[in-house]
């Protein structure tokens, strides 16, 4: 780590410490990779010096991982400052969401990696990033316009913003919630709507996503009990992304659902909650195994996913490369999980 002046700061450098303004607000968090457009903003705030990692970032600082980390840090900063009573830093958030939207619009195979363990402190932030990514992929799949996808991404990343206004002892309660506590949690929809609506420059449709993402297709949701197409399309997309991500995330206290298990669960237990067309888009495009990930099969074989496009990928073709136990695999061999129906994926290893 080394201390440098703002004049020395260059794109690709990684922050080694949080950048805190004189009034105590966080400007950028540790781990953030500096981009061109942030230089001016940092200068504007009059930050005298910063701490950066010794190794200057490689030129590919616009990589998927960097965009993911940066988005996580941005939403964390935004939500923490809202919890402390400040407003939403719209320009910073918009830059970040635009990066995600552009990356997904330009590349079919991005962001399909599944995130790791989520602890209580970071759950909401990581969940917000993933819901944003899934929603944008769904929006692209149904050919929404670029400006609608942009609103969708922004609304999706902010969908649980109202949780910043919920007391932490209820939000993070490790035990089952009482009926009254659950009623408090449900208010995050209206509270989020209010915060977003009051942010200058934010489209009403974005605020509406925070309000309506727990409405159900059959009218059994909250807060208004709206049904079917009375619920805005963007909110119907975020509703599926929200539940799909909650199921497939690794939590400290339970193992995640595999994509095919989450898909089965959604169809069996909750299909009446979702717009059937949107649910189908999810099952076809998102609840899939991305190519190149390493999976464990029920047979104890460890394999790489070799084909993962479209509806087939819920049971993809895999290349067995090793075994959990027993003799090594000397020559890798392929298994088509569509054909061999007694073989299935039980875990994702990387
Ligand atoms: Fe929510």
Q: What is the mean predicted confidence (pLDDT) over 243-259? A: 85
Tell whether the model's pLDDT for residue 3 goes beyond 90: no
| pLDDT of 58 strictly over 50 | no
* CA 157/CA 216 separation, integer angstroms: 20
pLDDT at 24 over 90: no
Q: Taking the domain 62-285, which CATH number applies?
A: 1.10.3210.10
* CATH topology assigned to domain 1-61: Molybdopterin biosynthesis moea protein, domain 2 (3.90.105)
> Which residue, among 235, 315, 246, 247, has the nearest Cα to 278 in the 3D structure?
235
Distance 308 CA to ligand 1 centre (A): 30
Residue 212 Cα to ligand 1 midpoint, Å, equals 9
Same fold flag, 1-61 and 62-285: no
Burial 266-281 (b: 16+ CB within 10 A, else e): beeebeebbbeebbbb
Distance CA 178, CA 170 (A): 10
Average pLDDT over residues 139-152: 96
The reported pLDDT for the residue numbered 238 is: 98
How confident is the model at residue 59, as a pLDDT? 41
Which pLDDT does position 166 carry in this prediction? Answer: 94
Say yes or no to pLDDT of 217 above 60: yes
Report CA(158)–ligand 1 centroid distance (Å): 10
Which of 9-23, 73-87, 92-106 is least confident? Answer: 9-23
Alpha helices in 3-162 (DSSP H): 36-44, 64-83, 90-106, 120-141, 146-157
How far away, in angstroms, is 310 Cα from ligand 1 center?
A: 29
Kindly state the percentage of the chain with pLDDT values over 90.
44
Q: Is the pLDDT of residue 110 over 70?
A: no
Residues 161-172: what's their mean pLDDT?
Answer: 92
Between CA 172 and CA 187 the distance in angstroms is: 15
Task: Say yes or no to pLDDT of 291 above 90.
Answer: no
Domain range summary for the chain, segments of one domain joined by +: 1-61, 62-285, 294-348
CB atoms within 10 A of CB 51: 14
Residue 142 CA to ligand 1 centre (angstroms)? 23
Distance (angstroms) between ligand 1 centre and the Cα of 115 equals: 19
Encoded tokens for 182: 């659950």
Residue 109, pLDDT above cutoff 80 = no
- The mean per-residue pLDDT over the stretch 253-258 comes to 81
How many A from CA of 102 to the centre of ligand 1?
25
143 alpha carbon to ligand 1 midpoint, in Å?
Answer: 25
pLDDT at residue 308 in the model: 60
CA of 350 to the centre of ligand 1 (A): 28
134 Cα to the center of ligand 1, angstroms: 15
Q: What is the total residue count of the chain? A: 350
Distance of CA 236 to the CA centre of its chain: 16
């Amino acid at each position: 780590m080394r201390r440098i002046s703002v004049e020395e700061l260059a794109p690709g450098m990684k922050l080694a410490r949080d950048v805190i303004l004189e009034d105590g607000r966080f400007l950028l968090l540790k781990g953030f990779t500096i981009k061109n457009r942030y230089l001016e903003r940092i200068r504007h705030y009059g930050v005298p010096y910063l701490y950066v990692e010794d190794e200057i970032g490689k030129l590919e600082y616009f990589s998927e991982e960097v965009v993911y980390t940066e988005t996580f840090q941005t939403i964390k900063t935004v939500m923490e400052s809202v919890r402390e009573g400040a407003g939403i830093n719209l320009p910073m958030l918009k830059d970040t969401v635009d990066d995600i939207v552009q990356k997904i619009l330009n590349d079919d195979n991005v962001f399909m990696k599944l995130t790791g363990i989520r602890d209580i402190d970071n759950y909401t932030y990581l969940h917000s990033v993933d819901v944003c990514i899934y929603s944008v992929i769904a929006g692209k799949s149904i050919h929404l316009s670029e400006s609608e996808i942009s609103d969708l991404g922004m609304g999706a990343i902010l969908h649980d913003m109202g949780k910043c206004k919920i007391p932490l002892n209820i939000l993070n309660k490790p035990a089952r919630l009482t009926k009254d506590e659950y009623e408090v949690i449900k208010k995050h929809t209206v509270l989020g709507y209010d915060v977003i609506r009051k942010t200058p420059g934010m489209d009403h449709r974005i605020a509406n996503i925070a309000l309506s993402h727990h409405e159900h297709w059959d009218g059994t949701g909250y807060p208004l009990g709206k049904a079917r197409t009375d619920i805005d399309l963007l909110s119907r997309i975020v509703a599926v992304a929200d539940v799909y991500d909650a199921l497939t995330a690794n939590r400290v206290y339970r193992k995640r659902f595999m994509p095919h298990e989450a898909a089965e669960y959604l169809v069996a237990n909750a299909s009446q909650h979702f717009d059937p067309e949107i649910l189908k888009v999810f099952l076809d495009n998102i609840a899939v195994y991305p190519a190149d990930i390493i999976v464990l099969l029920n047979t104890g074989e460890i394999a790489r996913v070799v084909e993962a496009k479209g509806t087939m990928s819920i049971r993809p073709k895999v290349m067995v490369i090793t075994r959990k136990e027993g003799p090594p695999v000397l020559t890798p061999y392929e298994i088509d999980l569509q054909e061999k129906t007694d073989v299935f994926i039980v875990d994702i290893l990387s």
